[in-house]
């Protein structure tokens, strides 16, 4: 007898009393057997009571920031797969089956609901769209992938993924971290197109475009540094060495012609840049070796965890 997978819908919320009831009801209609959780991030309105009245299990997370809420979600919920969706009623609940199917069929570990697919209409603010495209380009360039929407708040995840990845982001940069962690740990990612509705009257975005956009960009850069140190520090080293060669060549040519170092500051600058560049290359090499060993340890721990999980399921 095949046991149906346990599915949980996780909805992070902050002051969404005007929309949360509809979101809960829509997902209850689409997934009647799923557990629906609303994670309230210290709302000052009636979000929690409306969610509870709609039939959701309400969990409170007082630490402000979407990343903090997601960390609590992943620690709290026990399910075979989860749907994470924002509580502002901008994502269509009827698309949830498209997100779940690749995981149910064993094709993917993470499914992203792309708002930027050419096949869907999206109610994106023009400035938000521009920022998303810039950040998408940054991630795709650094990590050599072609993901259309790295910041989507509508995604499905298997327990193999959400129970085992380390996440440390505290704010809206959490979506970028979730995407990068999946890429760097070899999890299978699929995108499916989903529409994006305009926010209903009375619902306001919590995103601070410039401040949060900068934080997301820095998160992408730092995770690139952490996961691919040889590429990051190697590129920095090569740039520094190249910059050092410019004044260095001038000083060298003058020395060969006159036998004197006529531009001492240029000589010092050239030596400093070249030495710093070489040091950066060495740092990249050392950290690359350390990163590889850490990934080997993570892989072995994953094998042990799979074995323990299989044993627990066998006893049940």
Tokens linked to 77 = 């919920």
Q: Which residue has the higher pLDDT, 310 or 277?
A: 277
Please determine, for residue 28, whether its predicted confidence score (pLDDT) is greater than 70: yes
Fold that domain 7-227 belongs to in CATH? Spore Coat Polysaccharide Biosynthesis Protein SpsA; Chain A (3.90.550)
Q: What is the CA radius of gyration of the chain?
A: 24
Q: Which residue has the tokens 């979730």?
A: 178
Indicate the pLDDT class of residue 281, thresholds 50, 70 and 90.
Answer: very high
Kindly report the average pLDDT of the chain as a whole number: 87
Residues 113 and 152: their CA atoms lie apart, in Å, by 6
Please determine, for residue 120, whether its predicted confidence score (pLDDT) is greater than 60: no
How confident is the model over 275-284, as a mean pLDDT? 95
Residues 227 and 248: their CA atoms lie apart, in Å, by 33
Q: Provide the H-helix boundaries in 9-158.
A: 20-30, 47-53, 66-76, 96-104, 126-143
Residues 135 and 176: their CA atoms lie apart, in Å, by 9
Please determine, for residue 141, whether its predicted confidence score (pLDDT) is greater than 70: yes
Of 27-41, 47-61, 113-127, 294-308, the least confident: 113-127
Q: Which residue has the higher pLDDT, 300 or 9?
A: 9
**CA nearest to 40, candidates 17, 65, 59:** 59
How confident is the model over 67-87, as a mean pLDDT? 93
Per cent of the chain over pLDDT 70 is 90
Indicate the pLDDT class of residue 314, thresholds 50, 70 and 90.
Answer: low
Indicate the pLDDT class of residue 315, thresholds 50, 70 and 90.
Answer: low
E strand or H helix that includes residue 291: helix 264-315
Indicate the pLDDT class of residue 203, thresholds 50, 70 and 90.
Answer: low
Sort 35 into a burial class: Cβ within 10 Å, 0-12 / 13-18 / 19+.
middle
Q: Structure pTM?
A: 0.82
Please determine, for residue 196, whether its predicted confidence score (pLDDT) is greater than 90: no
* Exposure string for 184-210, b = 16+ CB within 10 A, e = fewer: bbebebbbbbbbbeebeeebeebbeee
């Amino acid at each position: 007898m095949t046991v149906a997978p346990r599915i949980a819908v996780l909805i992070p919320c902050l002051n969404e009393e005007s929309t949360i009831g509809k979101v809960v009801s829509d997902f209850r209609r689409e997934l009647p057997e799923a557990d629906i959780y609303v994670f309230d991030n210290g709302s000052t309105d009636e979000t929690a009571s409306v969610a509870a009245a709609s039939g959701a299990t309400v969990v409170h997370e007082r630490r402000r920031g979407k990343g903090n809420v997601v960390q609590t979600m992943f620690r709290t919920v026990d399910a075979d797969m989860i749907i994470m969706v924002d509580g502002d009623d901008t994502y269509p609940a009827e698309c949830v089956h498209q997100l779940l199917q690749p995981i149910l069929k064993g094709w993917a570990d993470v499914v992203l609901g792309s708002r930027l697919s050419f096949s869907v209409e999206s109610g994106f603010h023009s400035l938000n769209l521009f920022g998303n495209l810039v950040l998408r380009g940054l991630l795709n360039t650094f990590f050599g992938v072609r993901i259309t929407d790295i910041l989507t708040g509508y995604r499905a995840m298997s327990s193999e993924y959400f129970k085992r990845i380390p996440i440390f982001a505290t704010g809206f940069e959490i979506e970028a971290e979730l995407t990068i962690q999946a890429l760097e740990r070899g999890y299978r990612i699929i995108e499916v197109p989903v529409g994006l509705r305009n926010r209903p009257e009375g619902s306001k975005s919590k995103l601070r475009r410039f401040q949060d956009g900068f934080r997301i960009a820095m998160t992408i850069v730092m995770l690139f540094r952490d996961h691919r140190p040889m590429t990051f520090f190697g590129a920095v080293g090569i740039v520094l060495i190249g910059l050092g060669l410019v004044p260095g060549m001038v000083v060298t040519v003058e020395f060969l012609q006159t036998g004197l170092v006529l531009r001492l500051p240029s000589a010092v600058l050239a030596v400093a840049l070249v030495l710093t560049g070489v040091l950066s290359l060495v740092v990249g090499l050392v950290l690359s070796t350390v990163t590889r060993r850490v990934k080997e340890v993570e892989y072995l721990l994953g094998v042990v965890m799979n074995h323990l999980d299989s044993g627990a399921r066998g006893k049940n």
